[in-house]
Structure formats: structure tokens, C-alpha cells
Structure 1
Amino acid sequence: MSLLFPSVLQAALLASGAGAMPTPEPPSAQDAAPVAEGYEARLLRARDLATSGDPVQREQALALYGDMLQASPGNSDVLLARGRTYAWMGRHAEAEADLRAVTDAKPGHADAWSALGDLYLWSDRPLLAVEAYGHWAALAPEAPEPLIARGRAHRAAGQMEAARVDFAAAGARGADPAQVASLRDSATARLATPDAMLADGYTWSLRAGIDRTTFSGDRAGWTDSGLTLRRQFERGSLGLELLNADHFGRSNSAWALDGYVSLWARAYANVRYHYGPSSGVLPRQSWRTELFQGVGSGWELSASIDHLRFSTDTEFYGVGVGRYVGNWYLRYKLQHVPGVSSGSWSHRVVVRNYYRGNADDYLEVSGSNGRSSDLDRSGALVRNSDASLGVSWTRYFRPNWGFKLGVGYSNDADGFDERQLSLALYRRW
């Protein structure tokens, strides 16, 4: 009886609803106790933010790295990650402090030496980059990547022979032969058109330029501008150009395809097609083919045909000879325009100095006289000048950012003195 009574009482209470014990509900997401994010998860989240390329997210990554270092001072993985992030943001002093802290504490940390070399190369300190990459190469004696990186640093420092040695050694360690060949070419300052022919690790490039020409007397000035997007390939490149010319109070636009292709040993070609307005200051159509062939030791021969169609057709036939001596490039080009009697002739001389020993940065002086289309990048005008002179400076102030400044003067056969100022910006990625 004593055992039965509690059971009967419980049943009665449940039937009446009195004293019912509700089944507890699971806690909501808001009420649940937060689960602490682990070290690896926080590090991965910070790295995702840092590699996004977004400035705001990179600041968030730096804050995460700072919190992690408060909890674990001197953590080499976090210092390395934060140092790389600072380097990507251009905060070179802070990046160097973090990366040096890692290499001082752990001299055998290969990734830290690699990151430190990148930082020095990006901040235009190539000799320090050579040293850092040297440590990386010693710690990874079978890998080609450290030698490629050190070769690029040698090249940036103007140490071309050392660069070629590193590139060749990288090839012996299994680096891609096409990449090695391109890198060795880039260390000889051999090509007069490095942006068009030498990819050197990037795929795209963008050029935005503007030229302003003023004249003596009462002739109004001219403005020419252009935008070129170029895609690099293993054996050359193809550029799409948008051009605009404002001359004589008339403005015309056109587009062009400009391609470079590597052919056989020491030979490449430039092929260009231009399509413009049916009438105006730009040609309706034009095309160009020029072949370059290296011969002997440092010599280069070329032959070209240019065809311009305005209301009538005009053709130019040219031959040239170039010479590479150390960091100097010299070229002479003779050009002929068939016509009445014996036609007309023009002469053009270019002297270029790769003053930093690489294929990107150079000073150039050019002069010409006679009838020529070479003075105009778009082939917009067929000029007949008594004499012309131009000076330009091309400089990459960051690995993927550069500019070109130019000035020129010409004594036109029509009696006008011309003065030209040009500016172009370069970006590659």
C-alpha cells in the first residue's frame, strides 16, 4: 500500500494538471555559452583578412595579430604573418621590425628570410634582399624559388652577371625552362621593348599616357592620349589600345591591336593594326610589321613596313641596326617613303642607357630628320622635319608601378617649331 499510494497520487496530480513538470527547452543560440575560437582558427581568419587586399580587412587582421601577440608574446608565426601584412600595406619599418624579430629568434626559419627578402626588394633595397634571399637559399638547397628570388634582387641592384648565374642555377634545380629563359633575357637588358616581350612573373599590364604638343606662331596646340591593356603570354604579348587625338580643333578616337611574338632563336616580331575614323586627324586604317633578329655578339638587325591610309595610302619601308654594349643600347633606322622622283628618306637614332642594370629603368635620347611616322606613337601624322630631338626617362618606383616622362623639340619643314611634353603611367600585375 505504501508503494502504491505515491504512484496513484502522482497520476492524479498529472491528470489534473497540478504540479506538472514542463520539459526543459534547449537553450537558444543567443543563450548558449560562447565557444572560444582556437589559436589555429584565429590565425587562419586573420590571414584570410590580410590576403583579401582590402585595406579595412587588413587593419582588422592587424588587430587580431596584435591580440594574439598579447596572449603569446614573441610568437614567430604571428610575427611573420603580421610582418607580411605590414609589407603588403607599404608599412616597411613595422614589417622589418616583425620579420627581423623572427629571423633573430629563429635563424633557421626559411619563410621569414623569404618574406624579409620580399620586403627589401619591394622597398628598393636590393642588396639587403640579396642577403636575405641568400639565407633562404642556404636553408632550401634543393628548391629553385630562392635562387629565382635572389636573381631578381641581383638584377634590381644592377648585378646582371650574378643574376644570370642564379637564374641558370634555378634551372638546374628544376625551374620551368621557359621562365628561366625569360629571366635570363631580362638580365641582359637585351630587348628594346621589355614591357611587351618580358612577362617576368606578371600577366597583365596597363599604360595610360598623354602627350601635349605646342607650336610657335599662332598654331593651336595638340593633345594626344591613349590607354593600353596588354596581356602577356609565354612567347609574347597582345595589347588593346584606345587612342584619342585632338588636333586643329578636331577630336578623333581609334583603337588598335599591338602584338609582339617570339619567333626563332634571337628573333621576335611586332605586328600592329589600327582602325580609326573615316576621315580626320587619325588614319582610317594602318598596319605595321617589324622583324628583329639578333646576330653576332650584341647586334640586332630589323626590317619594317608601315602602311597608313588617310584619303590616300602612304607606305614606309625601314631597316635598322642596333647594338647592345653593357647597359647601353644604340640603334639607327633608315626609312624610305616611295613617291615622286626618288621619294623621301628619314634617319632616326636612339641611344638608351639602362642605368640601373635592369630591363625596366632607362634614360633615352632620340633624334631624327626627314619624313617619318616614328615620332608619333599612334602613327597619326606623317611629319617632314628638318631636325627633331627627344629625351625620356622611364622608371619603375615599385616592382609593379612605373612612369615615363618625355620632352621633345622639332623644327618642322613647314616652318613651325614644335615642343612636346609627355607623361605615361604603368601598372602591371
Structure 2
Amino acid sequence: MRRRFFRPAVRALLLACVVAMAPAAMAQDAASAGDSYDQQFARARELASSGQREQAIALYTAMLQQSPANADVRLARGRTYAWMERWPEAEADLVAVTTADPDYADAWSARGDMYLWSDRPQQAATAYARWNELSGDDPEPALALGRAHRAAGDYDAARADFTAARARGADPARVDEYLASLQQRIANQEALLPTGLRWALRVGGTHTSFDPSRESWDEYEVSLRRKFDRGSLALEMLEADRFGEHGTAWALDGYVTLWDRAYANLRYQHSSDALFADHIWRAELFQGVGKGWELSGSYDHLEFDGSDTDMFGVGVGRYFGNFYARYRMLHAPGEGSGSLSHRAQLRYYYAGNADDYFEVNGGYGRSHEFDSGFGRVVGSSHSSFGVEFVKFLTPHWGFKLGAGFANDVDGYDERAVSAWLYSRW
């Protein structure tokens, strides 16, 4: 019994060894079969580019055994290791090449790529900077250096790099795309303006219908925002037609940069009409932490005729690539334990800049959201869902379209559509 089991096991082990050693053996045969250096090198590059990277590595290794000081082969193997995300082996090869030949521009380029792909932007910037020094008027190193500085969060340096690439003859449209990607992204994207623009005008409104049928609501807004060095401030006029009545409110809405990765939203709104709260004060603090995370805490105080309402919120957001996701929990003290609600949003910056995005959002729970734009609390709502689409046709003109649904809002289902026009200068 043991002998019958042992022999098949040995055969299986030997077969596995043969299969594992086959690429190296084939590579060794190719390297020693009389092919010229150029033929071997071309064959290895073909293997690497066609996805047969283990075979390419084996062939490069066989060539290096014959010529250990060949920088071109070691560079090619280092690049292939980087494509395979085998970072230690890639770094060892590429560092060896740049150490042996500090003026080998392509090696510094590959080393920068390897660091950037492995999420080490500061080291990538150092490598790209050396490539940039060696490449004269070539715009590509400047673009690569800008990408590394952008990944490291040094937007001023990245902007200078992209501008230098333009001066060297880089495609203007490509440079504009990179510069647009440097715009900061925050929870309320409309509070920011691109570099060079100081004013923003927003005009639009929302139409809401109900099921069971009752008189629809119409709400309008005009907002004029001024950008300053550390933030922006908007003057807003809000109007509403509800229940056959008309009301107007005025608001100041400001965003200010505080310390490193922190900013705040401060808002005051006033109205003497019954459709709005008499006074609204709002403060929300945002603090970036870790890699792409953002924590927030908010407080809203609303004064209605004869009663006040306080609302407390905490949130966590995450920026990753061209996406932004956020969860927010809101608590309104009241009878018993008060009301608790939840809200989530997912935004996709589809053009890679900070202007154009598509967003989906949803909420759950009583009083699940305070409508800061119109100063009302959505009461007794079980759940809601909404979508928004923002597109800037030029840096100066854009629009936003939105649609939403909320069920069981004081016994009615709401269906809302909105449209907004933006002008910036």
C-alpha cells in the first residue's frame, strides 16, 4: 500500500518540478541556442508585452547570467517586475541601474513609474525630477513629475510642473486636463471656484409634486458667491411657493480654510415669512485624516415661531480616485430619544476634474435631512433617493439637473425635479 501510494506521489512531484522549471529551461535554451543578443532581447520584450511575463523574466535572467553588467537588460527586467507588481525585485533592478549609470534617463523614468505605481509619490517625484534634469526640453518628464506631486498632495508644485510642460510644447488640451484635476474636491463642490475665477452665480429651482395629489411646491434660488484666498462667501435669496403662499428668505453661506486639511462651513439664514424658519445658524467642521478620509461634525439651530430645533450631525467621507463617498448621521433631540436618520452619497467625477460629476444619494429615518437651501426639515420621511448631474460646457458656464423621490413625508410621497444654471468669471 505504501509503495503504491509513494510512487504516484513522487511522479506528481517530479511533474510539478518540471512544469515549474520549464520557463527557465526554455529561456536558458533560447539564451544559449545561438540567437544573437538583439534576437534574445526582442524575444524577451515580446514575451513581456504579450503578458507572458514569467517567461520574459526567465529570459532576461538568463541573459544577465551571461552579461551581469548589461544595464539595458536589467532595466527591462526591472520594468517587467514593476508591471507584475513585484516591487522589491523591481526596485532592486532599477536602483542598480541608476546607481551604475546616474545619467541613464530611461532608468530614472522607469524608477519613477515603479514608485508611483506602488503608492510612493514622494520617491516617484525624486526619480522623475532626475529624469526631468536629463531630458532637456522633453515635456513628458515634466508631466510625470506633475503627476507625482499631485499624488503627493503638493498641488502648487504640480501646477508649476504642468505649466512647464506646456512651455515645452506639451499638448495644451492634455495640460488643461491635468490642471483641472488639481482643483480641490470637497463635500459641497459649489463652494470652490477654479484658479483664476473669483465670482460664481447660480440660478435655479425645484418643482415637487405629491401622491396622493395635492398642490405642488415650487422653490427658487439665486446665489452670488465671491472667492477669497482662504475660502468663499455667498449671498443667497430663496423663494418658495407652498400651500398657496409665497415666502422669501436671505442667507449668507461661507466656507473657510482653517488648518492643515481642515475647513468649515458657516451659514446664517433669516426670513419673516411663515414658509421658512425665522433664523437658522449652521456650523460644520471638516477634517481630513489618513489617506483620503474626511471626518465632519455639524450643528444646526433653527428658530420657528414659538419653537426651536437643534440638529447634530457626524459624517465620514472618503476620496478615492475620481470618486467621493460619504455617510452622515443626523440626530434631532426631542421626545424620548429624539429622531435619528442616516444619509449616504456617492459622487463620480466623470471628467477627472472637480467641476463635472454624477451623484446618487439616499436617506433613511425620520427627519432624515435638513434642507439647508430652503430652511425646512423633511419630517416623518421613511426613505429617499436622488440623483444629480453637473456639467460645465466651458470654465464659465455650466448646469445641474436633479431628480429625487421621498416616501411617506407626512403621509405623502414626493417627486422632485430641479434645474440650475451656473455662470463664473
Please report the TM-score for the alignment, with normalisation by the length of structure 1: 0.58
Matched, 1:291 2:291: no
Alignment match, 1:304:
298
Q: How does 1:84-95 map to 2 (within 5 A)?
A: none
1:274 correspondence with 2:266: no
Cα distance change, pair 241–186 in 1 and its aligned pair in 2 (3 A)? farther
1:124 aligns with none
On the 8 A contact 2:343/2:369 being kept in 1, the answer is no
SS at match of 1:195: helix
Distance 1:415 1:241 in 2: 31
Give the counterpart of 1:398 among 389, 394, 401: 394
Report what 1:221 is aligned to. Answer: 216
Runs of 4+ in 1 over 3 A off after TM superposition: 160-166, 170-173, 183-186, 372-376
Q: Is the Cα–Cα contact under 8 Å of residues 330 and 369 in structure 2 kept in the other structure?
A: no
Q: Which residue of 1 aligns with 2:420?
A: 424
1:44-69 Cα distance to aligned partner (Å, 9 max, x none):
xxxxxxxxxxxxxxxxxxxxxxxxxx
The gaps in structure 1 that reach 5 residues or longer are: 1-140, 174-182
Q: How many residues align?
A: 269
Gaps of 5+ in 2: 1-135, 166-177
Q: Counterparts of 2:369 and 2:409 in 1: how far apart (Å)? A: 15
Secondary structure in structure 2 of the residue aligned to 1:372: coil
Distance 1:376 1:196, change over 3 A: closer
Aligned-CA RMSD value? 3.0
Q: Does 1:167 align with 2:167?
A: no
Structure 1 CA distance, aligned partners of 2:386 and 2:202?
20
Structure of larger gyration radius: 1
Which amino acid in 1 is paired with 2:161? A
Q: 1:376 Cα shift? A: 5.4
CA positional deviation for 1:318: 0.1
SS in 1 for 2:391: strand
| Contact kept in structure 2, 1:229 and 1:240, CA below 8 Å | yes
1:335 and 2:330 aligned? yes
Partner in structure 2 of residue 315 of structure 1: 310
Give secondary structure in 1 for the equivalent of 2:265.
strand
- Per-residue deviation, residues 356-386 of structure 1 (Å, max 9, x unmatched): 1000000000000221343452223342211
- Contact 1:260 1:269 (C-alpha < 8 Å) held by counterparts: yes
Alpha-carbon deviation of 1:398?
Answer: 1.1
2:187 pairs with 1:192: yes
- Between the aligned partners of 1:248 and 1:223, the Cα distance in structure 2 is 10
In the other structure, the counterpart of 1:77 is: none
Q: Residues 303 and 184 (structure 1 numbering): CA distance in 2 closer, same or farther, change over 3 Å?
A: farther
Tell me if 1:344 matches 2:344. no
Alignment of 1:261 with 2:256, yes or no, is yes
**Are 2:378 and 2:409, in contact at CA under 8 Å, matched by a contact in 1?**
no
SS of 2:294's equivalent in the other structure is strand
The TM-score with structure 2 as length reference comes to 0.58
**Aligned position for 1:109:** none
Query: What is the rounded CA distance, in whole Å, between the counterparts of 1:426 and 1:244 in structure 2?
Result: 18
In the TM superposition, residue 193 of structure 1 has moved relative to its aligned partner by 2.6
Q: Is the 8 A contact 2:225 2:233 kept in 1?
A: yes
The alignment-based identity, stated in percent, is 49
Distance 2:423 2:247 in 1: 26
Contact 2:181 2:352 in 1 (8 A): no
1:211 to 197, 206, 212: 206
- Asked if the contact 1:215/1:221 (under 8 Å) is kept, the reply is yes
Q: Structure 1 residues 384 and 184 mapped into 2: Cα distance closer, same or farther (>3 Å)?
A: farther
8 Å Cα contact 2:233/2:255 also seen in 1: yes
